Amino acid sequence: MFHPSCSEYAKLALAEHGIFTGSLMAIDRYLRCNGTNRELYPYDPVRRKLLDPVPNAAAELDQAFPEEEIVEPWRRAELERLKRLLAEARSSQRKSPNAALLLSTIVPGTGQLYAGDPWDALNAFALNAGLGTIIFTAMKNEYYLEAALLFLYPFRRYYLGNRDNARIAAEKSNRAADQQFRERIMDQILSLQESEQRAGKQLSNPRPRRAEDRVYTIHFLMKLSK
């Protein structure tokens, strides 16, 4: 029903995305391998299969635009720019929300600093250090009830909030980085699409199969960039 087959999809998903994410993708594919929702997938009339590739934009780009077939320098330049963008997006470092959470659990504010939010880091450290000092002073002076109340309400609230804020800051940083790459990649994809349209009008006898592959690949890349 699908191209590639479910077993091939699983192999590619494991190789491309690792054992955890790849396994989830493979399970999802097996669950989707039935007769429902056929309208959600492009149909390949040559293979007589529904197209559902492993999300790998660079591989799809190489398959639809083979290097030996792209002879025009300006088209090669556009493809190279898009490939570099895809490689840069894939290799760019992301902040780990779990690492940010752990850091702020150990020392309040350090997770926010790691996530790139120094002002929230300073605020979290100052609040927790100040409250910790007041609680310590209260216990030292044998004001145990006051120390317990300070610990149970304001300190606990700000300490736990500091941990959550560190995780959120890391997630926010990743979303901002992803959005920047999406916008840059989408601009390049639209430029590539316009070039393909211009080139298609200039060809008197274009190859239908290759043209179909390229149109599908452009739409596939657009879907990944949303």
Share of the chain above pLDDT 90, in %: 30
Q: How confident is the model at residue 223 (pLDDT cuts 50, 70, 90)?
A: very low
For residues 218 and 211, what is the distance between their CA atoms, to the nearest angstrom?
A: 11
Q: Which residue has the higher pLDDT, 156 or 223?
A: 156
- Summarised one tens digit per residue, pLDDT across range 199-217 is 654 443 344 344 444 444 5
62 contacts: CB under 8 Å, gap ≥ 6: none
pLDDT number for residue 60? 60
What pLDDT is recorded for position 166?
A: 94
Q: How far is 112 from 125, CA to CA, in rounded Å? A: 10
Q: Look at the pTM and tell me if it is higher than 0.85.
A: no
Read off the pLDDT of each residue in 35-54 and give the average, rounded to a whole number.
67
Per-residue pLDDT, 76: 77
